Amino acid sequence: MANRNSFLQPRPFLLLTLSLIIIAIAAASVDGSDDGAFSRPPARNVLITPHARAESEPQQVHVSLAGKDHVRVTWITDDKHVSSVVEYGTTEAGPAGKYEATASGEHTKYRYFLYASGTIHHVRIGPLKPNTVYFYRCGGIGPEFSFKTPPATLPIEFAVVGDLGQTEWTQSTLQHINGSDYDVFLLPGDLSYADSQQPLWDSFGRLVEPYASRRPWMVTEGNHEVESFPIIFPHGFKAYNARWLMPHTESGSSSNLYYSFDVASGLVHVIMLGSYTDFDSHSDQYTWLAADLAKIDRKATPWVVVLLHAPWYNTNEAHQGEGESMRSEMEELLYDNRVDVVFAGHVHAYERFTRVYDNKADPCGPVHVTIGDGGNREGLALRFKKEAVSAPLSLYREPSFGHGRLRIVDEKRAHWSWHRNNDSSSVVADEVWFNSLSASEECWPRKGGNVDGGGGLSARVGLDEL
């Protein structure tokens, strides 16, 4: 606790007191942050990552995919006079700082009670070549960074982990992820665990910068991003939306809380859903999702991957039933469109299910994986419920920190592996091959099917037999 609050000590006493009151009230309203009565092993300390550069220099640099052949560069400056400009090119410029291209963008800032953010810059750059290292500089000052764009073809590899936080375990997980190359980072919610303590968002941004400035980080929101407060911030997501702008405009979504993107020239379509915004059949999210799925031609896009925060299938005692209302509204849409895999977070453990639909094993349903084991300060969800031995849906479950890797090898096959944090080393503890549902004769009956593109809502198995 002393470590967690040490960065606040130089601030005035009044600010500290007010912050603690706000945190206490807000924490009480954070959905699902209390995991019940069971005990967890001691979580590791929160790491506070200080700002070590000048006020005008960039901090918290991260990149994200932003529509076809484009990347968004985001960074924060304490100096409000810095331009939202990114210089970039395929040649290392070094101190000379001569780049092939320049792009301008926008900036924003926000207030949360007495906290005032720095200037948050967002600059979209491109068109960029695939599978290419770009060197870049933010705001015309400070260090040179580099990132690699994803490939235009398969294979492509995703690193997947949720509930990251900013502890020594988080550091281990990130180091393990960085130890082996990947193309895109996918995070199914719960980033900083700031929980209204806004300087922790800055600390998190600095902790992840060495990783998030090198590969695109694509995130969706968890309950720890909400940070709502009655009357003053009723809609929540103030910090999350300002800091982690995702390509919702580019994917036809009116909200930063759900969006989609293509990689590998559209061979893989990734959909990021929002567990903490409306999802019923009359909601904007539902309407957007139905339209987004209907646009997919599974001949051109054999792989469809979905991420969300609160798992729809979960045999852990923690967070039981919290994803059920979303599942009952949206599962049929995903099933009818033959989504291949659904990744969730929220439960601080790892669990992999068989292909499932409507609580039954189904060869045409998605594989569900819970990967909320990034290493946050709340610790692990240790207890799993007993499952039916005769027909288990859960095939592997373990309460350990770690991360996952989805390597989509070609149009038909993908390899999934879960890498447990064994202290300083990373060990593959679970692995499995997935087949794309787009190639399944059984799941795409010719009569009424849509493997040739569009729709898909009538393609449920057995529908043509009725």
| CB atoms closer than 10 angstroms to residue 181 | 10
| Contact with Fe ion (CB under 5 A) among 205, 222, 374, 399 | 222
List the catalytic residue out of 122, 269, 319, 346: 319
187 to 206: interface string for Fe ion, x by CB under 5 A:
---x----------------
Q: Which is nearer to Fe ion, 77 or 315 (CB)?
A: 315
Distance CA 79, CA 267 (A): 42
Residues 6 or more apart whose Cβ sits within 8 Å of residue 28: none
Q: Are 441 and 317 in contact (CB under 8 A)?
A: no
Q: In whole angstroms, how close is the CB of 164 to Fe ion at the nearest point?
A: 11
Give me the residue whose beta carbon is nearest to Fe ion: 346
Amino acid symbol at 53: R
Look at strands 402-408 and 156-160 and give their pairing.
Answer: antiparallel
Stretch that binds Fe ion, among 99-107, 221-229, 347-355, 455-463 (CB under 5 A): 221-229
**Torsion over CA: 146, 418, 336, 409 (sign):** positive
Contact between 223 and Fe ion per CB under 5 A: yes
Least CB distance from residue 375 to Fe ion, whole Å?
13
Q: Which stretch binds Fe ion (CB under 5 A): 37-45, 61-69, 219-227, 257-265?
A: 219-227
- Of 376, 307, 358, 338, nearest in space to 33 by CA: 376
Q: Residue 77 to residues 82, 83, 86, 348: CA-CA distances in angstroms?
A: 7, 10, 13, 33
* CB closer to Fe ion, 156 vs 347: 347
Piece of 57-65, 66-74, 183-191, 299-307 that binds Fe ion (CB under 5 A): 183-191
Residue span binding Fe ion (CB under 5 A) among the ranges 71-79, 249-257, 338-346, 350-358: 338-346
Residue type for position 43: A
Query: Across-strand partners of 233?
Result: 229
**Residue closer to Fe ion (CB basis): 273 or 364:** 273
CA distance 87 to 136: 6
Nearer to Fe ion, 189 or 302 (CB): 189
- The Cα 422–Cα 199 span in angstroms is 30
- Give the strand pairing for 101-104 and 303-307: unpaired
Min. distance of Cβ 30 from Fe ion in angstroms?
Answer: 9
Residue tagged 């209390």 (tokens)? 34
Helix (H) and strand (E) counts in the chain: 7, 24
Measured from the CB atom, the residue of 99 and 201 that comes closer to Fe ion is 201
Closest contact distance (angstroms) between CB of 190 and Fe ion is: 4
Quote the least distance from Cβ 381 to Fe ion, whole Å.
Answer: 10
Select 190 or 351, whichever has its Cβ closest to Fe ion: 190
| Nearest-approach distance from CB 397 to Fe ion, in angstroms | 18
Query: At its nearest, how many Å lie between Fe ion and the CB of residue 134?
Result: 33
Whether residue 319 lies in the annotated active site: yes
Interface pick for Fe ion out of 44, 298, 327, 346 (rule CB under 5 A): 346
Q: Are 304 and 333 within 8 A, CB to CB?
A: no
Count of positions on this chain that bind Fe ion (CB under 5 A): 4
Residue among 165 and 216 whose Cβ is closer to Fe ion: 165
Q: In whole angstroms, what is the distance from residue 459 CA to residue 451 CA?
A: 9
* Catalytic machinery residues: 319
Binding region for Fe ion (CB under 5 A): 190, 222-223, 346
